């Protein structure tokens, strides 16, 4: 008879083997060589191109269903593999991708008709898109990109972040299973067993890749924009949440902490710091501490956090996407599970405030008045033009802030995730093209405009 421990050990061994084979296995869109992956995606695109919009929509609908059915598996896999984020929130993110990423309905034709005939602007596919994806939202980005890109009539080759390759490739396999089950071709989305910087270079230089979509930090966006190809760059942010004296302060505290702690602050749109007008700053912090599960870090604890989460080379990857409890544990502070965010007051130059941390650490910068708050928030956003948030009932103040900070996203009086359709109107995306200006990407972003002109006919007005 096997005892409990022996059974557990066998289970662990089998799971480890399964995971290994998962990581090294090819097929269902996974290749060992970038050139082969691009060739397969090109073949699949030729098939997709001949299919009707209705057939395309069937593939997308199957991807949505697979995403919903596997939301928990993908969420657990992402947290297990990367050590980052929160399973419950990742389940919600996958559901959001399945339910609110636009499909073919996003592709609208523009028409002019008159005495000289009929002219249409149709939105056609680029062909095979090269996509580079982050480790912070790995499968969310792959599934969301694929829905939009396939809706536009493209296929896609991914060079995912190596730290999230198992989760990313699991998503790629699901996409191909969905395509085949819906009557589409295999390899509508492709990836590599072992993506590297070299394989992404091959992708960026390949003659069959007319468009590259990069979602990640400043390095990858710069690399893509220097590639000589058309590039869509969804880069880093450092979103400030500004709170003025007209806001509902209690609600602002709740919204900000909810947004900041969502998936342990991994989303690029999440509140990374607060700028509060002096007259309400104490009240805001009071609600955060008494009602929103925040922990006030002392000067000495802030110093230990700086030593722990920042390294001379940048962020300590072991801290990114970790919970407040885990981060505090790393500096020797034990707190109850109810603590979900670390707060403190500091100058805007404080390293835990000025740096995009992607951790539930929220510095609060005090401003003497609204104009001073705007100036500080603009400085903190570092010209990324990515995301910013405001809590205010004064439309003049909101307008002034919106113009000054000039970001792709500006959420008013809500948590940051309202921007991607979670508790807010509008569609979902996990690729926000801040640097190149497309903003929140969707199927239409992944198409090229083509003018079709019928001269002197087909106007029936």
Exactly one of 70, 86, 136, 445 binds ligand NAD (CB under 6 A); that residue is: 136
163 to 35, 136, 222, 350: CA distances (angstroms): 22, 10, 21, 29
Instruction: Write out the binding residues for ligand NAD, residues 90-119 only, by CB under 6 A.
Output: none
Q: Which is nearer to ligand NAD, 287 or 422 (CB)?
A: 422
Would strands 294-296 and 341-345 be described as parallel, antiparallel, or unpaired? parallel
Is 17 exposed, middle or buried (CB count within 10 Å of its CB: 0-12, 13-18, 19+)?
Answer: exposed
Q: Is 419 in the site for ligand NAD (CB under 6 A)?
A: no
CB of 113 to ligand NAD, least distance (A): 38
For position 190 contacting ligand NAD by CB under 6 A, the verdict is no
CB 341 within 8 A of CB 360: yes
132 is an interface residue for ligand NAD by CB under 6 A: yes
Residue with smaller CB distance to ligand NAD, 187 or 431? 431
Pick from 246, 284, 240, 282: which is nearest to 374 by CA? 240
78 part of the interface to ligand NAD, by CB under 6 A: no
Measured CA to CA in angstroms, residue 46 lies from 42, 125, 188, 192, 451 at distances of 6, 11, 10, 21, 21
Instruction: Tell whether residue 146 is a contact of ligand NAD (CB under 6 A).
Output: no
Q: Are 132 and 220 in contact (CB under 8 A)?
A: yes
Structure tokens at 84: 């980052």
Q: Given the complex with ligand NAD, which of 344 and 430 has the nearer CB atom?
A: 430
DSSP string, 311-337: ETTEE-TTTTT--HHHHHHHTT----T
**45-51 own/partner pairs: CB under 8 Å, 24+ apart:** 45/125, 45/127, 45/128, 45/153, 45/154, 45/155, 47/184, 47/185, 48/125, 48/150, 48/153, 48/154, 48/155, 48/184, 48/185, 48/188, 49/125, 49/153, 51/184
- Are the C-beta atoms of residues 277 and 239 closer than 8 Å to each other? no
Please report how close the Cβ of residue 220 comes to ligand NAD at its closest, in angstroms.
Answer: 3
CA–CA distance from 426 to each of 10, 144, 262, 441 (Å)?
A: 48, 15, 19, 12
**Could you say whether residue 145 binds ligand NAD (CB under 6 A)?**
no
Stretch of residues binding ligand NAD (CB under 6 A), selected from 131-139, 276-284, 420-428, 447-455:
131-139
Q: Which is nearer to ligand NAD, 178 or 203 (CB)?
A: 203
Give 268 or 274: the residue with its C-beta nearer to ligand NAD: 268
- Residue choice 81, 255, 345, 356 for contact with ligand NAD (CB under 6 A): 356
Number of residues near ligand NAD (by CB under 6 A):
26
Task: Specify the pairing of strand 117-125 against strand 110-114.
Answer: antiparallel
Answer yes or no whether residue 434 interacts with ligand NAD by CB under 6 A.
Answer: yes
Based on the shown chain and the rule CB under 6 A, indicate whether residue 134 belongs to the binding site for ligand NAD.
yes
Binding string, 362-401, against ligand NAD, x = CB under 6 A?
Answer: ----------------------------------------
Of 83-91, 130-138, 172-180, 417-425, the segment contacting ligand NAD by CB under 6 A is 130-138
CB of 36 to ligand NAD, least distance (A): 19
**Beta carbon of residue 84, minimum distance to ligand NAD (angstroms, whole number):** 9
Q: How many CA atoms lie within 13 A of 118 on its CB side?
A: 11
Which residue in the block uniquely carries the two structure tokens 């603009």? 378
For residue 192, count other CB atoms closer than 10 A to its CB.
28
* C-alpha closest to that of 25 among 160, 166, 185, 133: 166
Which residue in 63, 77, 268, 405 binds ligand NAD (CB under 6 A)? 268
* Interface with ligand NAD, residue 137, by CB under 6 A: yes
For ligand NAD, the binding residues in 225-264 under the rule CB under 6 A are: 234-237
Dihedral angle computed from the Cα positions of residues 221, 377, 418 and 157, in that order, rounded to the nearest 10 degrees: 0
Beta-bridge partner residues of 454: 118
Q: Is 314 near ligand NAD (CB under 6 A)?
A: no
Q: Which helix (H) or strand (E) holds 93?
A: helix 87-100
Residues 192-231 close enough to bind ligand NAD by CB under 6 A: 197, 200, 215-217, 219-220, 223
Burial call 170-183: b when 16+ CB within 10 Å, e when fewer = bbbbbbbbbbbebe
Shortest distance in whole angstroms from residue 100 CB to ligand NAD: 15
Nearest residue (CB) to ligand NAD, 183 versus 437:
437
Nearer to ligand NAD, 136 or 392 (CB): 136
Site membership for ligand NAD, residue 432 (CB under 6 A): yes
CA distance 345 to 343: 7
Binding segment for ligand NAD among 91-99, 132-140, 347-355, 410-418 (CB under 6 A)?
A: 132-140
Stretch near ligand NAD under the rule CB under 6 A, chosen from 96-104, 107-115, 428-436, 446-454: 428-436
- Interface contacts to ligand NAD, rule CB under 6 A: 132-137, 160-161, 197, 200, 215-217, 219-220, 223, 234-237, 268, 356, 430-432, 434
């Amino acid at each position: 008879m096997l005892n409990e421990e022996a059974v557990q050990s066998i289970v662990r061994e089998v799971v480890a083997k399964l995971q290994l084979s998962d990581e090294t296995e090819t097929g269902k869109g996974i290749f060992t060589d970038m050139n082969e992956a691009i060739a397969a995606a090109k073949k699949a695109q030729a098939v997709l191109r001949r299919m009707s919009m209705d057939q395309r929509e069937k593939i997308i609908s199957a991807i949505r269903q697979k995403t919903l059915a596997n939301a928990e598996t993908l969420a657990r896999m992402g947290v297990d593999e990367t050590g980052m984020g929160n399973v419950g929130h990742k389940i919600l993110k996958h559901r959001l991708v399945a339910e609110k990423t636009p499909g073919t309905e996003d592709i609208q034709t523009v028409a002019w008709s008159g005495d000289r005939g009929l002219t249409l602007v149709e939105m056609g596919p680029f062909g095979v898109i090269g996509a580079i994806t982050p480790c912070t939202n790995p499968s969310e980005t792959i599934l969301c990109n694929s829905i939009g890109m396939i809706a536009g009539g493209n296929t896609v080759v991914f060079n995912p972040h190596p730290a999230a390759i198992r989760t990313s490739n699991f998503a790629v396999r699901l996409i191909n299973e969905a395509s085949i089950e819906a009557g589409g071709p295999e390899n509508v989305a492709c990836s590599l067993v072992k993506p590297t910087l070299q394989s992404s270079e091959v992708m960026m230089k390949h003659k069959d890749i007319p468009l590259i979509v990069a979602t990640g930090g400043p390095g990858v966006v710069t690399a893509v924009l220097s590639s000589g190809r058309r590039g869509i760059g969804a880069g880093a942010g450092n979103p400030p949440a500004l709170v003025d004296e007209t806001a509902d302060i209690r609600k602002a505290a709740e919204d900000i902490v909810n947004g900041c702690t969502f998936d342990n602050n991994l989303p690029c749109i999440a509140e990374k710091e607060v700028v509060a007008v002096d007259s309400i700053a104490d009240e805001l912090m009071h609600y955060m501490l008494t009602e929103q599960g925040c922990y006030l870090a002392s000067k000495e604890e802030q110093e230990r956090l700086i030593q722990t989460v920042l390294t001379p080379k940048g962020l300590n990857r072991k801290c990114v996407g970790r919970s407040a409890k885990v981060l505090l544990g790393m500096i020797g502070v034990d707190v109850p599970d109810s603590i979900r965010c670390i707060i403190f007051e500091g100058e805007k130059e404080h390293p835990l405030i000025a740096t995009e941390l992607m951790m539930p650490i929220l510095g609060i910068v005090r401003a003497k008045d609204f104009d001073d708050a705007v100036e500080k928030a603009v400085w903190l956003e570092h010209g990324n033009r990515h995301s910013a948030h405001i809590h205010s009932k004064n439309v003049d103040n909101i307008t002034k802030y919106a113009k000054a900070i000039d970001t792709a996203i500006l959420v008013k009086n809500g948590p940051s995730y309202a921007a991607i359709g979670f508790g807010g109107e509008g569609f979902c995306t996990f690729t926000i093209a801040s640097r190149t200006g497309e903003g929140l990407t969707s199927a239409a972003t992944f198409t090229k405009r083509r003018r079709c002109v019928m001269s002197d006919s087909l106007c029936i007005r």
